[in-house]
């Protein structure tokens, strides 16, 4: 008989909670007292992209909003509410919009009804998904020539995922709450792509990225400190140092 995944998850949670409490008796009481995350993460709902895990950070370090294909639309009140709360009330220092490789949304936007692949981009999924993926299909149409020039299907989907992040960052930069925070207190916006095949996050070099030198590194970088880690954004990407 197959194992019940829900019961297994509950058992795993119990073991995790016990381990964390044993490791640090103050961990959960401190967590319950409030949150002060420095990062707002806007990502994809894909089960392979859990933000806190792939950043090597802890509960309380990252405020999160995820949806199918990490689409940031100016008319989406759900996303707008998350952004406003994180920026205006939690006063995060960084917004990270992160797409990923092997994205089902990007593949669907590129799919053709005639052959299930390629650059046709007119295969219907049905239901609300067709409406939700409209921005991705618009990007596909706007960049059709460049995308069609990429022979490999996976590479074409990655490029569309990058274009989607770029478009989302532009929307973020036009958000009034974000604009005010960038101007008044130096809020940073980063566009990234998570490579599922390697586990690495690649900074796409878009957004607002003033840099400072991390002592002893010899390079210009921006530090983001979490509870048990230090995430460093620099010109070549991001790195994590455990502390």
Cβ contact 206:165 at 8 Å: yes
Q: Which of 65, 93, 100, 140 is catalytic?
A: 100
100 noted as active-site residue: yes
CA 90 vs CA 65, 78, 196, 215: distances in Å? 14, 17, 29, 28
Bigger pLDDT: 242 vs 149:
149
Q: Is the pLDDT of residue 76 over 80?
A: yes
| Helix (H), strand (E) at residue 153 | helix 153-174
Q: What does the DSSP 8-state code read for residue 89?
A: I
Burial degree of 216 (CB within 10 A; 0-12, 13-18, 19+)? exposed
Phi, psi (degrees; rounded to nearest 5) at 67:
-145, 175
How would residue 19 be classed by pLDDT, with cut points 50, 70 and 90?
very high
48 noted as active-site residue: yes
pLDDT of residue 137: 96
- Does residue 44 have a known ligand-binding role? yes
Q: Which of 49, 61, 94, 103 is catalytic?
A: 103
Alpha carbon distance 135, 69 (integer Å): 10
192 noted as active-site residue: no
Query: Which two three-digit tokens encode residue 113?
Result: 């009804």
- Does residue 100 have a known ligand-binding role? yes
Which pLDDT tens digit goes with each residue over 27-72?
A: 999 999 999 999 999 999 999 999 999 999 999 999 999 999 999 9
CATH number of 35-210: 3.40.1050.10
Cβ contact 72:79 at 8 Å: yes
Burial degree of 193 (CB within 10 A; 0-12, 13-18, 19+)? buried
Q: Is the pLDDT of residue 114 over 50?
A: no
């Amino acid at each position: 008989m197959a194992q019940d995944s829900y019961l297994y998850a509950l058992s795993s949670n119990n073991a995790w909670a016990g381990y964390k409490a044993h490791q640090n008796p103050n961990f959960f009481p401190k967590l319950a007292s409030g949150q002060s995350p420095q990062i707002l993460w806007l990502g994809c709902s894909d089960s392979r992209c859990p933000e806190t895990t792939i950043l090597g950070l802890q509960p309380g370090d990252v405020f999160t909003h995820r949806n199918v294909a990490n689409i940031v639309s100016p008319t989406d009140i759900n996303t707008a509410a998350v952004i406003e709360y994180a920026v205006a009330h939690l006063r995060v220092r960084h917004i990270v919009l992160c797409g990923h490789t092997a994205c089902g949304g990007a593949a669907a936007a590129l799919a053709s009804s005639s052959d299930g692949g390629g650059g046709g981009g007119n295969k219907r999924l049905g239901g609300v998904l067709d409406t939700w993926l409209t921005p991705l299909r618009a990007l596909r149409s706007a960049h059709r020539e460049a995308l069609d020039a990429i022979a490999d299907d996976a590479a074409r989907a990655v490029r569309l995922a990058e274009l989607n992040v770029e478009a989302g960052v532009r929307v973020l930069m036009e958000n009034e709450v974000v604009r005010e925070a960038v101007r008044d207190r130096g809020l940073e916006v980063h566009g990234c792509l998570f490579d599922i095949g390697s586990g690495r996050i690649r900074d796409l070099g878009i957004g607002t990225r003033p840099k400072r030198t991390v002592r002893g590194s010899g390079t210009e970088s921006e530090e983001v400190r979490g509870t048990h880690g230090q995430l460093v954004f620099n010109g070549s990407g991001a790195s994590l140092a455990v502390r």
